[in-house]
Structure 1
């Protein structure tokens, strides 16, 4: 198979996944469709190395992962997190609940290695799944390497309908309060900042004319920060083992704060879409080791892990919500953002709001109360905590 034919086939598969996700309003995740088609391809006519043949070898994916995680760090605004501190506490409680239940009951049922691999993809996104998949493969645990990817692929099927159900209940409660005159509109600053992060001044380059801040200069600064994270990780290796990807996240936060990087620098360098394409293809490449018998072997572990994880999220978010005086529906919805993150949290919340009322003023009320915590929850769980968690747990494989 030629390189360009391989590229056409695998990118077309990603497009099919996106198309179906749009048609079903995200109820069927694009990654699920893509994974099914990749599996069918590997079981029929795909060459084993079709992704590498298309031009995405592991070394390219690793480069993109460094850049993407450093870019993630630039999105973190401490002011946003302060405004939504209750949301942050509830989101962290949900993740803690999933960890506690899986490490206790899950370990008894499935074994410690399986649980360690399952936790980060279950409470995180693409990057954490990739970290655990690579870690399991490096440790010689081929089936668990595939398992990490399958968890990531399937988690949305638990998260989407449950979140929609919780938000509909919360929305109806809020509408009842509003129609009785007991609810006012909240400020939307947190929402606006989360969806469209404001420009961060490049303090260290304030005298640089804008015409010199080219895409290459953005990539250069992003690469420098990523390299510093890698360098510090190697220097610390004799003392303490810290994943360079975790340090990329931290260094990205610091670099944005001091004005070395702007927010969303990868998007502004016109590289985000390509980086995501590379990582999506690379994670789907991990399915080449998934035989039909292996998939049958892990299906029960997969379902059990998701059920236990979601149950833990519910119990701990319920307790946190009670203490912080947040409704159990809103608390559970916030904790469920760990299963999908942005932009699914934004899409689901907006679709629920539009399904509950045709009145623009009522929609604004619902948006002001429901959207900010959902966005911040997804950002905390998927962007920050899951990457750190994966970096820590991968060392135990």
Structure 2
């Protein structure tokens, strides 16, 4: 398969996902449709490496991740991050709910090893899945090593539609309040419109010199510094370079070195997010029919049990902290997919429900920071910590 043929097929699949999502007003999220199509394709005529053949190989994907996460950091002010302690609490309690039920109910039904190996991938990203897969393989549990990877690959099928439903319900509630005048835009949105722009330590570059190259160079330097700092402090504190990119994006924007939403300003956001989404779906190539048949029952059981525990505890703690049960569950569900689906699902729900840019901005300002912080808390930070702990439980 040629480069352009593979690229075209991958983009057609992603496009069909967008069309179905638009037609259903985000009731059926694009990421869910695309995942189904990729799975069907891998089972029929797609080459297993179609995403690589399309040009979306690991170097460009890792570059995309570093730049996109730093870009997302520029959208969050330090004040916003400090204000998101409730979101972090809800996300963490959601993870506690997953572990509590899988290690009790899951253990009773499927056994200790199955529960221990499947839980960390369910709480987050591919790193946790790889850690548990290798741990299982080292002790001769090859089937459970596969279970760890497939749990990561398949959990999105539960997370995508549930999150879309929760965000649409929460968005409808917020929008009704906004239209009735009961809810107002956040203070950040009001201050940006009503007051002069905040002075930065580093003055803005004149508009004539703020070219695509300049914007991307500053973003790249920021991400480079973030990864270098994460490696520098690693002997003392092991913090993911991706988490550090988020923090450095916040700091660089606060100082004035990087603009807000630099990838949008440079016109690069769409292409980078496309490559990253394609790379995520490439993981479905591992989920063969024979493999899924072997582990279908424990796979489905652990996911249902874990998500049930997540829903129960996140909604309970969210209610105490003043969040609706829909928003609380949506925050916790970010553990099943992380970034960028958490961004895409939020944008789709906001776009489907609103009739103007003002309304869409209101919903994005209300929901997106919570979804981003929830995703980074669970997927990037907590899941790896849990995997490190759980390897010692085998």
Indicate the TM-score class for this superposition, using the shorter chain for normalisation: 0.7 to 0.9
Partners of 1:33 and 1:112 lie apart in 2 by 30
How much does 1:200 deviate?
A: 7.6
- Corresponding residue for 1:124? none
Comparing 261-270 and 152-161, the one that deviates more: 152-161
Q: May I ask how many residue pairs the two structures share in their alignment?
A: 369
SS of 1:203's partner is: coil
Q: TM-score, normalised by structure 2?
A: 0.76
How much does 1:350 deviate?
A: 7.6
Partners of 2:344 and 2:70 lie apart in 1 by 19
Distance 1:266 1:28, change over 3 A: same
Give the alignment partner of residue 308 of structure 2, picking from 306, 311, 318. 311
Give the alignment partner of residue 115 of structure 1, picking from 112, 116, 119. 119
Give the alignment partner of residue 243 of structure 1, picking from 215, 240, 244. 240
- Corresponding residue for 1:387? 380
Q: Deviations over 1:88-140 (max 9, x none)?
A: 654554454345444554466432221111111xxxxxxxx454456567776
Structure 2 stretches lacking a partner, 5+ long: 138-144
Distance 1:383 1:395, change over 3 A: same
How much does 1:15 deviate?
A: 0.8
Structure 1 stretches lacking a partner, 5+ long: 121-128, 355-359
Give the alignment partner of residue 264 of structure 2, picking from 264, 267, 287. 267
Give the alignment partner of residue 300 of structure 1, picking from 290, 293, 297. 297
- Corresponding residue for 1:344? 345
Partners of 1:34 and 1:199 lie apart in 2 by 43
Give the alignment partner of residue 234 of structure 1, picking from 231, 234, 255. 231
Give the alignment partner of residue 151 of structure 2, picking from 125, 135, 147. 147
**Alignment of structure 1 residues 37-186 onto 2, 5 Å:** 37-80=37-80, 89-90=89-90, 93-102=93-102, 105-106=105-106, 109=110, 110-120=114-124, 129-132=125-128, 141-161=145-165, 164=168, 185-186=182-183
How much does 1:248 deviate?
A: 1.4
Partners of 1:47 and 1:351 lie apart in 2 by 34
How much does 1:84 deviate?
A: 7.1
Kept in 2: contact 1:201–1:259 (CA 8 A): no
- Corresponding residue for 2:285? 288
Cα RMSD (Å): 4.1
Partners of 1:236 and 1:153 lie apart in 2 by 37
Q: Deviations over 1:292-330 (max 9, x none)?
A: 022234443443344334433433344335534666566
Kept in 1: contact 2:186–2:366 (CA 8 A): no
Kept in 2: contact 1:118–1:147 (CA 8 A): yes
Kept in 2: contact 1:69–1:245 (CA 8 A): yes
Distance 1:136 1:192, change over 3 A: farther
Distance 1:219 1:162, change over 3 A: closer
- Corresponding residue for 1:30? 30
- Corresponding residue for 1:125? none
How much does 1:64 deviate?
A: 1.0
Distance 1:102 1:192, change over 3 A: farther
Q: Deviations over 1:365-393 (max 9, x none)?
A: xx98x886544432331255533334544
Distance 1:211 1:98, change over 3 A: farther
How much does 1:68 deviate?
A: 1.3
